[in-house]
Structure 1
Protein backbone atom coordinates (compact mmCIF):
# COMPACT_ATOMS: atom_id res chain seq x y z
CA UNK A 1 0.00 0.00 0.00
CA UNK A 2 1.44 3.38 -0.98
CA UNK A 3 2.11 6.18 1.47
CA UNK A 4 -0.12 8.56 -0.52
CA UNK A 5 -3.13 6.32 0.20
CA UNK A 6 -2.49 5.85 3.92
CA UNK A 7 -1.24 9.31 4.94
CA UNK A 8 -4.18 11.75 5.14
CA UNK A 9 -1.81 14.70 5.59
CA UNK A 10 -0.10 13.96 2.34
CA UNK A 11 -3.44 13.43 0.61
CA UNK A 12 -4.54 16.89 1.73
CA UNK A 13 -1.23 18.36 0.57
CA UNK A 14 -1.69 16.72 -2.82
CA UNK A 15 -5.15 18.24 -3.11
CA UNK A 16 -7.35 15.15 -2.95
CA UNK A 17 -10.97 15.60 -4.02
CA UNK A 18 -12.22 15.05 -0.48
CA UNK A 19 -10.12 17.71 1.23
CA UNK A 20 -11.87 20.68 2.89
CA UNK A 21 -9.88 23.10 0.75
CA UNK A 22 -11.27 21.65 -2.48
CA UNK A 23 -14.80 21.41 -1.05
CA UNK A 24 -14.62 25.09 -0.07
CA UNK A 25 -14.20 25.99 -3.75
CA UNK A 26 -17.61 24.55 -4.60
CA UNK A 27 -19.60 27.76 -3.80
CA UNK A 28 -17.22 29.86 -5.90
CA UNK A 29 -17.44 27.42 -8.81
CA UNK A 30 -21.24 27.44 -8.54
CA UNK A 31 -21.37 31.24 -8.56
CA UNK A 32 -19.04 31.45 -11.55
CA UNK A 33 -21.10 28.88 -13.44
CA UNK A 34 -24.46 30.54 -12.69
CA UNK A 35 -23.55 34.21 -12.99
CA UNK A 36 -20.58 34.22 -15.39
CA UNK A 37 -20.37 31.19 -17.67
CA UNK A 38 -24.10 30.59 -18.10
CA UNK A 39 -24.92 34.23 -19.01
CA UNK A 40 -22.06 34.35 -21.52
CA UNK A 41 -23.19 31.12 -23.18
CA UNK A 42 -26.81 32.28 -23.25
CA UNK A 43 -25.81 35.67 -24.65
CA UNK A 44 -23.76 34.06 -27.41
CA UNK A 45 -26.56 31.65 -28.35
CA UNK A 46 -29.10 34.47 -28.55
CA UNK A 47 -26.73 36.69 -30.55
CA UNK A 48 -26.03 34.01 -33.17
CA UNK A 49 -29.61 32.69 -33.37
CA UNK A 50 -31.69 34.24 -36.17
CA UNK A 51 -35.47 33.83 -36.28
CA UNK A 52 -37.08 32.79 -39.58
CA UNK A 53 -40.26 34.20 -41.03
CA UNK A 54 -41.80 30.75 -40.67
CA UNK A 55 -41.25 30.79 -36.92
CA UNK A 56 -38.11 28.68 -36.92
CA UNK A 57 -34.55 29.70 -36.21
CA UNK A 58 -31.03 29.10 -37.46
CA UNK A 59 -27.48 30.16 -36.70
CA UNK A 60 -26.26 33.26 -38.51
CA UNK A 61 -24.72 36.71 -38.32
CA UNK A 62 -27.79 38.76 -39.18
CA UNK A 63 -28.04 40.13 -35.65
CA UNK A 64 -24.53 41.54 -35.94
CA UNK A 65 -25.40 43.16 -39.26
CA UNK A 66 -28.06 45.17 -37.43
CA UNK A 67 -25.31 46.80 -35.34
CA UNK A 68 -24.75 49.20 -38.24
CA UNK A 69 -27.94 50.96 -37.13
CA UNK A 70 -26.33 51.46 -33.73
CA UNK A 71 -23.02 52.74 -35.06
CA UNK A 72 -23.40 56.09 -33.32
CA UNK A 73 -23.42 54.41 -29.91
CA UNK A 74 -20.29 52.43 -30.78
CA UNK A 75 -18.54 55.55 -32.10
CA UNK A 76 -19.49 57.52 -28.98
CA UNK A 77 -18.20 54.77 -26.67
CA UNK A 78 -14.91 54.54 -28.54
CA UNK A 79 -14.52 58.34 -28.51
CA UNK A 80 -15.22 58.78 -24.79
CA UNK A 81 -13.15 55.73 -23.83
CA UNK A 82 -10.14 56.68 -25.96
CA UNK A 83 -10.05 60.33 -24.83
CA UNK A 84 -10.85 59.49 -21.21
CA UNK A 85 -8.16 56.80 -21.15
CA UNK A 86 -5.61 59.18 -22.69
CA UNK A 87 -6.31 61.90 -20.11
CA UNK A 88 -6.35 59.41 -17.25
CA UNK A 89 -3.14 57.75 -18.44
CA UNK A 90 -1.32 61.09 -18.65
CA UNK A 91 -2.45 62.30 -15.22
CA UNK A 92 -1.94 58.91 -13.58
CA UNK A 93 1.52 58.39 -15.06
CA UNK A 94 2.75 61.82 -13.94
CA UNK A 95 1.27 61.29 -10.48
CA UNK A 96 2.82 57.84 -10.04
CA UNK A 97 6.18 59.17 -11.26
CA UNK A 98 6.11 61.96 -8.65
CA UNK A 99 5.15 59.50 -5.92
CA UNK A 100 7.98 57.17 -6.96
CA UNK A 101 10.52 59.99 -6.61
CA UNK A 102 9.72 60.35 -2.91
CA UNK A 103 11.04 56.81 -2.29
CA UNK A 104 8.79 56.10 0.69
CA UNK A 105 7.51 52.55 1.14
CA UNK A 106 4.81 53.75 3.54
CA UNK A 107 3.56 56.28 0.99
CA UNK A 108 3.60 53.63 -1.74
CA UNK A 109 1.52 51.32 0.45
CA UNK A 110 -1.02 54.04 1.28
CA UNK A 111 -1.30 55.09 -2.37
CA UNK A 112 -1.78 51.47 -3.44
CA UNK A 113 -4.65 50.99 -0.98
CA UNK A 114 -6.36 54.28 -1.88
CA UNK A 115 -5.97 53.66 -5.60
CA UNK A 116 -7.44 50.18 -5.26
CA UNK A 117 -10.49 51.56 -3.45
CA UNK A 118 -11.06 54.49 -5.81
CA UNK A 119 -10.48 52.43 -8.94
CA UNK A 120 -13.37 50.13 -7.99
CA UNK A 121 -15.72 52.89 -6.85
CA UNK A 122 -18.44 54.18 -9.12
CA UNK A 123 -22.08 53.76 -10.00
CA UNK A 124 -24.94 56.05 -9.03
CA UNK A 125 -23.18 57.61 -5.98
CA UNK A 126 -20.29 58.72 -8.19
CA UNK A 127 -22.59 60.36 -10.74
CA UNK A 128 -24.59 62.05 -7.97
CA UNK A 129 -21.44 63.48 -6.38
CA UNK A 130 -20.36 65.00 -9.71
CA UNK A 131 -23.84 66.40 -10.33
CA UNK A 132 -23.76 68.12 -6.93
CA UNK A 133 -20.23 69.42 -7.57
CA UNK A 134 -20.00 70.19 -11.30
CA UNK A 135 -23.61 70.13 -12.46
CA UNK A 136 -25.37 73.24 -13.75
CA UNK A 137 -26.25 74.15 -10.16
CA UNK A 138 -23.19 72.53 -8.58
CA UNK A 139 -20.97 74.11 -5.97
CA UNK A 140 -17.95 74.49 -8.27
CA UNK A 141 -19.75 75.14 -11.57
CA UNK A 142 -20.15 78.91 -11.10
CA UNK A 143 -17.03 79.25 -8.94
CA UNK A 144 -14.81 77.92 -11.73
CA UNK A 145 -16.69 79.79 -14.43
CA UNK A 146 -17.49 76.62 -16.35
CA UNK A 147 -20.57 78.19 -17.88
CA UNK A 148 -18.38 80.81 -19.58
CA UNK A 149 -16.40 78.15 -21.47
CA UNK A 150 -19.51 76.18 -22.42
CA UNK A 151 -18.73 73.14 -20.30
CA UNK A 152 -21.63 70.85 -19.51
CA UNK A 153 -21.40 67.85 -17.23
CA UNK A 154 -24.24 66.23 -19.18
CA UNK A 155 -22.19 65.71 -22.33
CA UNK A 156 -19.31 63.58 -23.56
CA UNK A 157 -16.88 66.05 -21.97
CA UNK A 158 -18.64 65.54 -18.66
CA UNK A 159 -18.31 61.78 -19.02
CA UNK A 160 -14.57 62.15 -19.65
CA UNK A 161 -14.22 64.29 -16.51
CA UNK A 162 -16.27 61.92 -14.37
CA UNK A 163 -14.40 58.84 -15.59
CA UNK A 164 -11.13 60.30 -14.28
CA UNK A 165 -12.32 59.50 -10.75
CA UNK A 166 -11.58 55.81 -11.32
CA UNK A 167 -9.31 55.91 -14.36
CA UNK A 168 -6.51 57.92 -12.71
CA UNK A 169 -6.25 55.60 -9.66
CA UNK A 170 -6.21 52.61 -12.00
CA UNK A 171 -3.32 54.10 -13.95
CA UNK A 172 -1.44 54.80 -10.71
CA UNK A 173 -1.81 51.17 -9.64
CA UNK A 174 -0.49 49.95 -12.98
CA UNK A 175 2.48 52.31 -13.40
CA UNK A 176 3.68 52.97 -9.84
CA UNK A 177 5.56 49.63 -9.54
CA UNK A 178 7.33 50.39 -12.82
CA UNK A 179 8.54 53.85 -11.77
CA UNK A 180 9.54 52.54 -8.35
CA UNK A 181 11.46 49.74 -10.08
CA UNK A 182 13.66 52.11 -12.06
CA UNK A 183 16.96 51.44 -10.30
CA UNK A 184 19.34 54.08 -9.07
CA UNK A 185 22.19 52.10 -10.64
CA UNK A 186 20.79 52.89 -14.06
CA UNK A 187 20.79 56.62 -13.31
CA UNK A 188 24.34 56.42 -11.94
CA UNK A 189 25.56 54.46 -14.95
CA UNK A 190 24.01 57.04 -17.26
CA UNK A 191 25.72 59.92 -15.41
CA UNK A 192 29.08 58.13 -15.30
CA UNK A 193 28.95 57.75 -19.07
CA UNK A 194 28.24 61.43 -19.52
CA UNK A 195 24.54 61.08 -20.27
CA UNK A 196 21.98 63.73 -19.36
CA UNK A 197 18.56 63.23 -17.80
CA UNK A 198 17.03 63.39 -21.27
CA UNK A 199 19.45 60.69 -22.45
CA UNK A 200 18.41 58.42 -19.56
CA UNK A 201 14.70 58.76 -20.25
CA UNK A 202 15.09 58.45 -24.00
CA UNK A 203 17.31 55.35 -23.92
CA UNK A 204 16.44 53.68 -20.61
CA UNK A 205 13.50 55.13 -18.69
CA UNK A 206 10.86 55.39 -21.40
CA UNK A 207 11.70 52.06 -23.11
CA UNK A 208 11.37 50.31 -19.74
CA UNK A 209 8.17 52.15 -18.76
CA UNK A 210 6.55 52.05 -22.22
CA UNK A 211 4.90 48.61 -21.83
CA UNK A 212 3.36 49.61 -18.48
CA UNK A 213 2.18 52.96 -19.88
CA UNK A 214 0.63 51.38 -22.96
CA UNK A 215 -0.84 48.56 -20.90
CA UNK A 216 -2.36 51.09 -18.52
CA UNK A 217 -4.00 52.96 -21.39
CA UNK A 218 -5.43 49.72 -22.79
CA UNK A 219 -6.84 48.79 -19.38
CA UNK A 220 -8.32 52.27 -18.93
CA UNK A 221 -9.94 52.10 -22.36
CA UNK A 222 -11.64 48.80 -21.51
CA UNK A 223 -12.78 50.10 -18.13
CA UNK A 224 -14.30 53.25 -19.61
CA UNK A 225 -15.91 51.33 -22.48
CA UNK A 226 -17.74 49.01 -20.05
CA UNK A 227 -18.99 51.72 -17.66
CA UNK A 228 -22.78 51.79 -17.42
CA UNK A 229 -24.30 52.86 -14.10
CA UNK A 230 -22.49 56.19 -13.75
CA UNK A 231 -23.19 57.17 -17.35
CA UNK A 232 -26.84 56.11 -17.10
CA UNK A 233 -27.41 58.32 -14.06
CA UNK A 234 -25.50 61.27 -15.50
CA UNK A 235 -26.90 61.51 -19.03
CA UNK A 236 -29.74 58.98 -19.15
CA UNK A 237 -30.33 56.60 -22.05
CA UNK A 238 -31.14 58.92 -24.95
CA UNK A 239 -29.12 62.09 -24.64
CA UNK A 240 -25.77 60.63 -25.67
CA UNK A 241 -25.99 56.97 -26.77
CA UNK A 242 -23.28 54.60 -25.57
CA UNK A 243 -22.94 50.87 -26.09
CA UNK A 244 -23.81 50.01 -22.50
CA UNK A 245 -26.80 52.38 -22.48
CA UNK A 246 -27.99 51.04 -25.83
CA UNK A 247 -27.88 47.46 -24.51
CA UNK A 248 -30.06 48.45 -21.56
CA UNK A 249 -32.45 50.33 -23.84
CA UNK A 250 -32.75 47.44 -26.30
CA UNK A 251 -33.46 44.95 -23.52
CA UNK A 252 -36.25 47.18 -22.23
CA UNK A 253 -37.79 47.42 -25.69
CA UNK A 254 -38.67 43.72 -25.58
CA UNK A 255 -38.36 40.71 -27.82
CA UNK A 256 -41.07 41.82 -30.25
CA UNK A 257 -38.95 44.68 -31.61
CA UNK A 258 -35.82 42.57 -31.95
CA UNK A 259 -34.14 44.47 -29.17
CA UNK A 260 -32.97 41.38 -27.28
CA UNK A 261 -31.02 39.96 -30.23
CA UNK A 262 -29.37 43.32 -30.96
CA UNK A 263 -28.51 43.78 -27.29
CA UNK A 264 -26.92 40.34 -27.11
CA UNK A 265 -24.93 41.01 -30.29
CA UNK A 266 -23.62 44.21 -28.72
CA UNK A 267 -22.83 42.25 -25.58
CA UNK A 268 -20.79 39.73 -27.55
CA UNK A 269 -18.75 42.55 -29.10
CA UNK A 270 -18.09 43.91 -25.59
CA UNK A 271 -16.92 40.49 -24.43
CA UNK A 272 -14.60 40.31 -27.44
CA UNK A 273 -13.19 43.75 -26.62
CA UNK A 274 -12.70 42.72 -22.98
CA UNK A 275 -10.80 39.59 -24.03
CA UNK A 276 -8.54 41.62 -26.34
CA UNK A 277 -7.94 44.22 -23.61
CA UNK A 278 -7.00 41.58 -21.04
CA UNK A 279 -4.75 39.77 -23.51
CA UNK A 280 -2.87 42.94 -24.49
CA UNK A 281 -2.63 44.12 -20.90
CA UNK A 282 -1.19 40.81 -19.67
CA UNK A 283 1.35 40.70 -22.50
CA UNK A 284 2.47 44.26 -21.83
CA UNK A 285 2.65 43.65 -18.09
CA UNK A 286 4.91 40.64 -18.63
CA UNK A 287 7.16 42.75 -20.83
CA UNK A 288 7.38 45.40 -18.12
CA UNK A 289 7.96 42.84 -15.35
CA UNK A 290 11.10 41.54 -17.05
CA UNK A 291 12.87 44.80 -16.21
CA UNK A 292 11.52 45.63 -12.76
CA UNK A 293 11.37 42.16 -11.19
Structure 2
Protein backbone atom coordinates (compact mmCIF):
# COMPACT_ATOMS: atom_id res chain seq x y z
CA UNK A 1 0.00 0.00 0.00
CA UNK A 2 1.47 3.34 -1.08
CA UNK A 3 1.33 6.44 1.13
CA UNK A 4 1.38 10.03 -0.09
CA UNK A 5 3.58 12.28 2.00
CA UNK A 6 2.94 16.00 2.00
CA UNK A 7 6.21 17.88 1.99
CA UNK A 8 6.72 20.44 4.75
CA UNK A 9 6.50 24.07 3.63
CA UNK A 10 9.73 25.94 3.25
CA UNK A 11 10.88 28.14 6.11
CA UNK A 12 9.29 31.59 6.09
CA UNK A 13 6.20 30.41 4.21
CA UNK A 14 2.74 30.12 5.82
CA UNK A 15 1.36 26.65 6.45
CA UNK A 16 -0.62 25.04 3.70
CA UNK A 17 -4.34 25.60 3.84
CA UNK A 18 -6.90 23.10 2.70
CA UNK A 19 -9.88 24.15 0.57
CA UNK A 20 -12.44 26.02 2.68
CA UNK A 21 -9.88 28.04 4.64
CA UNK A 22 -9.00 25.36 7.27
CA UNK A 23 -5.35 24.42 7.87
CA UNK A 24 -4.24 21.36 6.02
CA UNK A 25 -3.88 18.15 8.00
CA UNK A 26 -0.56 17.97 9.70
CA UNK A 27 0.18 21.69 9.43
CA UNK A 28 0.74 23.40 12.81
CA UNK A 29 -1.64 26.18 13.99
CA UNK A 30 0.59 29.26 14.08
CA UNK A 31 -2.25 31.80 14.47
CA UNK A 32 -1.42 32.29 18.12
CA UNK A 33 -5.09 32.86 19.00
CA UNK A 34 -5.95 32.63 22.69
CA UNK A 35 -9.05 30.82 23.97
CA UNK A 36 -12.29 32.91 23.85
CA UNK A 37 -12.50 33.20 27.66
CA UNK A 38 -9.00 34.61 27.87
CA UNK A 39 -9.84 37.09 25.13
CA UNK A 40 -12.91 38.28 27.01
CA UNK A 41 -10.92 38.67 30.23
CA UNK A 42 -8.28 40.70 28.43
CA UNK A 43 -10.98 42.90 26.89
CA UNK A 44 -12.62 43.46 30.27
CA UNK A 45 -9.28 44.36 31.86
CA UNK A 46 -8.54 46.81 29.05
CA UNK A 47 -11.98 48.37 29.45
CA UNK A 48 -11.44 48.84 33.18
CA UNK A 49 -8.22 50.70 32.44
CA UNK A 50 -9.91 53.05 29.98
CA UNK A 51 -10.03 56.79 30.83
CA UNK A 52 -13.85 56.80 30.82
CA UNK A 53 -14.08 54.14 33.54
CA UNK A 54 -11.41 55.85 35.64
CA UNK A 55 -13.24 59.17 35.35
CA UNK A 56 -16.58 57.60 36.36
CA UNK A 57 -15.13 55.75 39.35
CA UNK A 58 -15.60 58.63 41.87
CA UNK A 59 -19.18 59.22 40.71
CA UNK A 60 -19.94 55.50 40.95
CA UNK A 61 -18.53 55.44 44.48
CA UNK A 62 -20.62 58.43 45.56
CA UNK A 63 -23.81 56.99 44.04
CA UNK A 64 -23.18 53.62 45.65
CA UNK A 65 -22.41 54.99 49.13
CA UNK A 66 -24.95 57.81 49.34
CA UNK A 67 -27.80 56.47 47.17
CA UNK A 68 -27.77 52.73 46.54
CA UNK A 69 -26.66 51.65 50.03
CA UNK A 70 -29.16 53.86 51.95
CA UNK A 71 -31.96 52.84 49.59
CA UNK A 72 -31.17 49.16 50.08
CA UNK A 73 -31.01 49.58 53.85
CA UNK A 74 -34.31 51.45 53.90
CA UNK A 75 -36.00 48.71 51.88
CA UNK A 76 -34.59 45.96 54.12
CA UNK A 77 -35.85 47.65 57.30
CA UNK A 78 -39.24 48.44 55.75
CA UNK A 79 -39.90 44.86 54.64
CA UNK A 80 -38.40 43.08 57.68
CA UNK A 81 -40.97 42.09 60.33
CA UNK A 82 -40.79 40.05 63.50
CA UNK A 83 -41.81 36.42 63.09
CA UNK A 84 -43.81 34.39 65.60
CA UNK A 85 -40.75 32.38 66.64
CA UNK A 86 -38.87 35.52 67.64
CA UNK A 87 -36.89 35.78 64.43
CA UNK A 88 -37.40 38.00 61.42
CA UNK A 89 -39.15 37.53 58.11
CA UNK A 90 -40.15 39.51 55.06
CA UNK A 91 -43.63 41.03 55.12
CA UNK A 92 -45.81 44.08 54.55
CA UNK A 93 -46.83 44.63 58.16
CA UNK A 94 -45.13 48.03 58.36
CA UNK A 95 -46.97 49.22 55.24
CA UNK A 96 -50.30 47.93 56.51
CA UNK A 97 -49.73 49.83 59.75
CA UNK A 98 -49.53 53.23 58.03
CA UNK A 99 -53.21 53.96 58.67
CA UNK A 100 -52.22 56.38 61.41
CA UNK A 101 -50.40 58.48 58.81
CA UNK A 102 -53.33 58.79 56.39
CA UNK A 103 -53.77 62.44 57.39
CA UNK A 104 -50.16 63.20 56.47
CA UNK A 105 -50.60 61.52 53.08
CA UNK A 106 -53.84 63.41 52.48
CA UNK A 107 -52.25 66.75 53.38
CA UNK A 108 -49.23 66.09 51.16
CA UNK A 109 -51.46 65.20 48.22
CA UNK A 110 -53.60 68.31 48.78
CA UNK A 111 -50.63 70.69 48.90
CA UNK A 112 -48.91 68.97 45.97
CA UNK A 113 -51.96 68.96 43.68
CA UNK A 114 -53.00 72.56 44.36
CA UNK A 115 -49.44 73.88 44.34
CA UNK A 116 -48.43 72.04 41.17
CA UNK A 117 -51.59 73.02 39.26
CA UNK A 118 -51.18 76.69 40.21
CA UNK A 119 -47.50 76.72 39.29
CA UNK A 120 -48.12 74.79 36.06
CA UNK A 121 -50.70 77.33 34.90
CA UNK A 122 -48.63 80.41 35.79
CA UNK A 123 -45.35 78.90 34.59
CA UNK A 124 -46.77 77.74 31.25
CA UNK A 125 -48.30 81.15 30.55
CA UNK A 126 -45.02 82.84 31.48
CA UNK A 127 -43.02 80.54 29.21
CA UNK A 128 -45.47 81.09 26.36
CA UNK A 129 -45.20 84.89 26.65
CA UNK A 130 -41.40 84.72 26.74
CA UNK A 131 -41.34 82.45 23.68
CA UNK A 132 -43.41 84.95 21.67
CA UNK A 133 -40.61 87.53 21.95
CA UNK A 134 -38.34 85.15 20.00
CA UNK A 135 -35.08 86.35 21.49
CA UNK A 136 -32.39 83.72 21.96
CA UNK A 137 -30.55 85.91 24.44
CA UNK A 138 -33.68 86.35 26.54
CA UNK A 139 -34.37 82.61 26.38
CA UNK A 140 -30.86 81.89 27.69
CA UNK A 141 -31.16 84.42 30.50
CA UNK A 142 -34.57 83.09 31.54
CA UNK A 143 -33.32 79.50 31.47
CA UNK A 144 -30.36 80.31 33.73
CA UNK A 145 -32.46 82.44 36.08
CA UNK A 146 -35.17 79.78 36.30
CA UNK A 147 -32.59 77.08 37.01
CA UNK A 148 -31.22 79.09 39.93
CA UNK A 149 -34.66 79.76 41.42
CA UNK A 150 -35.82 76.18 40.89
CA UNK A 151 -32.96 74.91 43.06
CA UNK A 152 -33.30 77.61 45.70
CA UNK A 153 -35.21 76.59 48.79
CA UNK A 154 -34.77 75.20 52.25
CA UNK A 155 -34.60 77.19 55.46
CA UNK A 156 -33.59 80.54 53.85
CA UNK A 157 -36.69 80.43 51.64
CA UNK A 158 -38.97 79.79 54.62
CA UNK A 159 -37.38 82.60 56.64
CA UNK A 160 -37.77 85.05 53.75
CA UNK A 161 -41.48 84.25 53.49
CA UNK A 162 -41.91 84.57 57.26
CA UNK A 163 -40.38 88.05 57.11
CA UNK A 164 -42.62 89.14 54.23
CA UNK A 165 -45.88 87.21 54.61
CA UNK A 166 -45.80 86.12 58.24
CA UNK A 167 -48.23 87.47 60.83
CA UNK A 168 -45.87 90.40 61.45
CA UNK A 169 -44.42 90.50 57.95
CA UNK A 170 -43.94 93.62 55.87
CA UNK A 171 -46.20 92.65 52.97
CA UNK A 172 -48.78 90.94 55.19
CA UNK A 173 -49.95 94.22 56.71
CA UNK A 174 -49.64 96.26 53.51
CA UNK A 175 -51.92 93.92 51.55
CA UNK A 176 -54.36 93.49 54.42
CA UNK A 177 -54.12 89.70 54.30
CA UNK A 178 -55.32 89.47 57.88
CA UNK A 179 -58.74 90.73 56.75
CA UNK A 180 -59.27 87.70 54.50
CA UNK A 181 -57.99 85.24 57.09
CA UNK A 182 -54.83 84.25 55.23
CA UNK A 183 -52.18 82.54 57.32
CA UNK A 184 -48.74 81.60 56.08
CA UNK A 185 -48.64 78.77 58.62
CA UNK A 186 -51.33 76.72 56.86
CA UNK A 187 -51.64 74.62 53.72
CA UNK A 188 -52.49 77.78 51.76
CA UNK A 189 -49.25 79.31 53.00
CA UNK A 190 -47.32 76.24 51.90
CA UNK A 191 -48.88 76.50 48.43
CA UNK A 192 -47.84 80.16 48.19
CA UNK A 193 -44.29 79.44 49.34
CA UNK A 194 -43.90 76.49 46.96
CA UNK A 195 -44.63 78.77 44.00
CA UNK A 196 -41.20 80.33 44.48
CA UNK A 197 -39.44 77.27 43.07
CA UNK A 198 -42.29 75.48 41.26
CA UNK A 199 -43.05 78.29 38.78
CA UNK A 200 -39.40 78.61 37.62
CA UNK A 201 -39.28 74.83 37.25
CA UNK A 202 -42.33 74.90 34.97
CA UNK A 203 -40.83 77.76 32.94
CA UNK A 204 -37.58 75.85 32.55
CA UNK A 205 -39.39 72.69 31.40
CA UNK A 206 -41.91 74.22 28.98
CA UNK A 207 -39.94 77.12 27.48
CA UNK A 208 -38.02 74.92 25.00
CA UNK A 209 -41.34 73.45 23.82
CA UNK A 210 -42.93 76.83 23.10
CA UNK A 211 -39.73 78.09 21.47
CA UNK A 212 -39.66 74.96 19.29
CA UNK A 213 -43.11 75.62 17.80
CA UNK A 214 -42.08 76.62 14.30
CA UNK A 215 -43.39 79.70 12.59
CA UNK A 216 -43.77 77.70 9.38
CA UNK A 217 -46.49 75.61 11.01
CA UNK A 218 -48.56 78.70 11.70
CA UNK A 219 -48.00 79.95 8.15
CA UNK A 220 -49.04 76.59 6.70
CA UNK A 221 -52.16 76.63 8.86
CA UNK A 222 -53.03 80.14 7.63
CA UNK A 223 -52.37 79.16 4.00
CA UNK A 224 -54.82 76.29 4.35
CA UNK A 225 -57.51 78.62 5.67
CA UNK A 226 -57.13 77.80 9.36
CA UNK A 227 -57.47 80.35 12.13
CA UNK A 228 -55.21 80.87 15.13
CA UNK A 229 -57.65 78.88 17.23
CA UNK A 230 -57.49 76.02 14.74
CA UNK A 231 -53.70 76.03 14.90
CA UNK A 232 -53.60 75.75 18.69
CA UNK A 233 -56.41 73.20 18.81
CA UNK A 234 -54.96 70.86 16.17
CA UNK A 235 -51.22 71.58 16.20
CA UNK A 236 -49.93 73.69 19.08
CA UNK A 237 -51.71 72.14 22.05
CA UNK A 238 -51.23 68.49 20.92
CA UNK A 239 -47.49 69.10 20.54
CA UNK A 240 -47.12 71.07 23.78
CA UNK A 241 -49.41 68.87 25.88
CA UNK A 242 -46.81 66.15 26.67
CA UNK A 243 -44.42 68.82 27.96
CA UNK A 244 -47.19 70.49 29.97
CA UNK A 245 -48.28 67.20 31.55
CA UNK A 246 -44.68 66.20 32.19
CA UNK A 247 -43.98 69.54 33.85
CA UNK A 248 -47.05 69.22 36.07
CA UNK A 249 -46.04 65.68 37.11
CA UNK A 250 -42.53 66.91 37.93
CA UNK A 251 -43.95 69.77 40.02
CA UNK A 252 -46.20 67.35 41.89
CA UNK A 253 -43.22 65.18 42.82
CA UNK A 254 -41.14 68.19 43.87
CA UNK A 255 -43.91 69.56 46.09
CA UNK A 256 -44.62 66.13 47.60
CA UNK A 257 -40.99 65.60 48.62
CA UNK A 258 -40.21 69.10 49.93
CA UNK A 259 -39.04 68.93 53.53
CA UNK A 260 -36.75 71.72 54.73
CA UNK A 261 -38.96 74.69 53.83
CA UNK A 262 -42.09 73.05 55.25
CA UNK A 263 -40.26 71.99 58.43
CA UNK A 264 -39.12 75.55 59.14
CA UNK A 265 -42.49 77.08 58.29
CA UNK A 266 -44.94 74.82 60.12
CA UNK A 267 -42.72 72.45 62.11
CA UNK A 268 -43.56 68.80 62.67
CA UNK A 269 -46.98 69.33 64.25
CA UNK A 270 -50.27 70.96 63.47
CA UNK A 271 -50.27 70.15 59.76
CA UNK A 272 -48.52 66.81 59.21
CA UNK A 273 -46.91 65.99 55.88
CA UNK A 274 -45.25 62.77 54.77
CA UNK A 275 -41.65 64.11 54.90
CA UNK A 276 -42.32 65.71 58.29
CA UNK A 277 -43.86 62.49 59.59
CA UNK A 278 -40.76 60.55 58.54
CA UNK A 279 -38.53 63.00 60.41
CA UNK A 280 -40.79 62.86 63.46
CA UNK A 281 -40.74 59.05 63.55
CA UNK A 282 -36.97 58.90 63.19
CA UNK A 283 -36.47 61.49 65.92
CA UNK A 284 -38.97 60.06 68.38
CA UNK A 285 -38.41 57.53 71.14
CA UNK A 286 -40.59 54.85 69.56
CA UNK A 287 -37.62 52.57 68.96
CA UNK A 288 -37.54 50.10 66.12
CA UNK A 289 -41.27 50.40 65.50
CA UNK A 290 -41.03 54.07 64.64
CA UNK A 291 -37.97 53.48 62.50
CA UNK A 292 -39.71 50.74 60.54
CA UNK A 293 -42.78 52.91 59.93
CA UNK A 294 -40.53 55.76 58.79
CA UNK A 295 -38.74 53.46 56.37
CA UNK A 296 -42.08 52.23 55.01
CA UNK A 297 -43.13 55.83 54.37
CA UNK A 298 -39.74 56.44 52.75
CA UNK A 299 -40.15 53.47 50.41
CA UNK A 300 -43.59 54.79 49.46
CA UNK A 301 -42.04 58.15 48.58
CA UNK A 302 -39.36 56.42 46.51
CA UNK A 303 -42.06 54.59 44.55
CA UNK A 304 -43.85 57.90 43.90
CA UNK A 305 -40.56 59.48 42.78
CA UNK A 306 -39.81 56.61 40.39
CA UNK A 307 -43.29 56.81 38.86
CA UNK A 308 -42.99 60.59 38.50
CA UNK A 309 -39.60 60.40 36.79
CA UNK A 310 -40.73 57.58 34.49
CA UNK A 311 -43.84 59.46 33.33
CA UNK A 312 -41.87 62.71 32.98
CA UNK A 313 -39.21 61.09 30.79
CA UNK A 314 -41.79 59.37 28.59
CA UNK A 315 -43.72 62.61 28.07
CA UNK A 316 -40.54 64.59 27.40
CA UNK A 317 -39.44 62.11 24.73
CA UNK A 318 -42.84 62.29 23.09
CA UNK A 319 -42.71 66.09 23.02
CA UNK A 320 -39.11 66.22 21.80
CA UNK A 321 -39.95 64.01 18.83
CA UNK A 322 -41.81 66.92 17.21
CA UNK A 323 -39.32 69.61 18.15
CA UNK A 324 -36.09 68.14 16.80
- What TM-score results when the alignment is normalised by the length of structure 2? 0.84
- Distance across 2 between alignment mates of 1:118 and 1:17: 40
Q: Report whether the alignment pairs 1:285 with 2:291.
A: no
1:51, distance to aligned residue in structure 2 (A) = 2.0
The secondary structure found in structure 2 opposite 1:225 is helix
1:201 matched residue in structure 2: 232
2:303 matched residue in structure 1: 272
Whose radius of gyration is greater, 1 or 2?
2
The secondary structure found in structure 1 opposite 2:261 is helix
Runs of 4+ more than 4 Å apart: none
Residue among 49, 57, 68 paired with 1:18:
49
**CA-to-aligned-CA distance 1:157-208 (integer Å, 9 cap, x gap):** 0000000111001101110000001111111111112221111111111111
Q: Report whether the alignment pairs 1:153 with 2:184.
A: yes
Residues 85-234 of structure 1: matches in 2 within 5 Å? 85-234=116-265
- Distance across 2 between alignment mates of 1:22 and 1:215: 33
Residue among 47, 54, 57 paired with 2:78:
47
**CA-to-aligned-CA distance 1:16-60 (integer Å, 9 cap, x gap):** 322344223222111111110000000000000112465421110
The secondary structure found in structure 2 opposite 1:50 is strand
- Distance across 2 between alignment mates of 1:52 and 1:16: 47
Listed as ranges, the gaps of 5+ residues in structure 1 are 3-14
Alpha-carbon distance change, 123 to 138 in structure 1, aligned in 2, over 3 angstroms: same
1:254, distance to aligned residue in structure 2 (A) = 3.7
CA contact (8 A) 1:254 1:260 kept: no
The secondary structure found in structure 2 opposite 1:25 is helix
- Distance across 2 between alignment mates of 1:254 and 1:33: 30
1:72 matched residue in structure 2: 103
- Distance across 2 between alignment mates of 1:252 and 1:16: 46
1:142, distance to aligned residue in structure 2 (A) = 0.8
Q: Which moved more, 1:26-35 or 1:68-77?
A: 26-35
| Number of equivalent positions | 283
1:145, distance to aligned residue in structure 2 (A) = 1.0
- Distance across 1 between alignment mates of 2:79 and 2:56: 33
**Structure with higher RCO (Cα < 8 A, 6+ apart):** 1
The secondary structure found in structure 2 opposite 1:205 is helix
The structure whose residues are more often helix, as a share, is 1
1:105, distance to aligned residue in structure 2 (A) = 0.3
CA contact (8 A) 1:181 1:292 kept: yes
- What TM-score results when the alignment is normalised by the length of structure 1? 0.93
Q: Which moved more, 1:215-224 or 1:50-59?
A: 50-59
Q: Which moved more, 1:246-255 or 1:261-270?
A: 246-255
- Distance across 2 between alignment mates of 1:282 and 1:214: 11
1:243 matched residue in structure 2: 274
CA contact (8 A) 1:218 1:280 kept: yes
1:260 matched residue in structure 2: 291
- Distance across 1 between alignment mates of 2:288 and 2:77: 15
- Distance across 2 between alignment mates of 1:248 and 1:166: 22
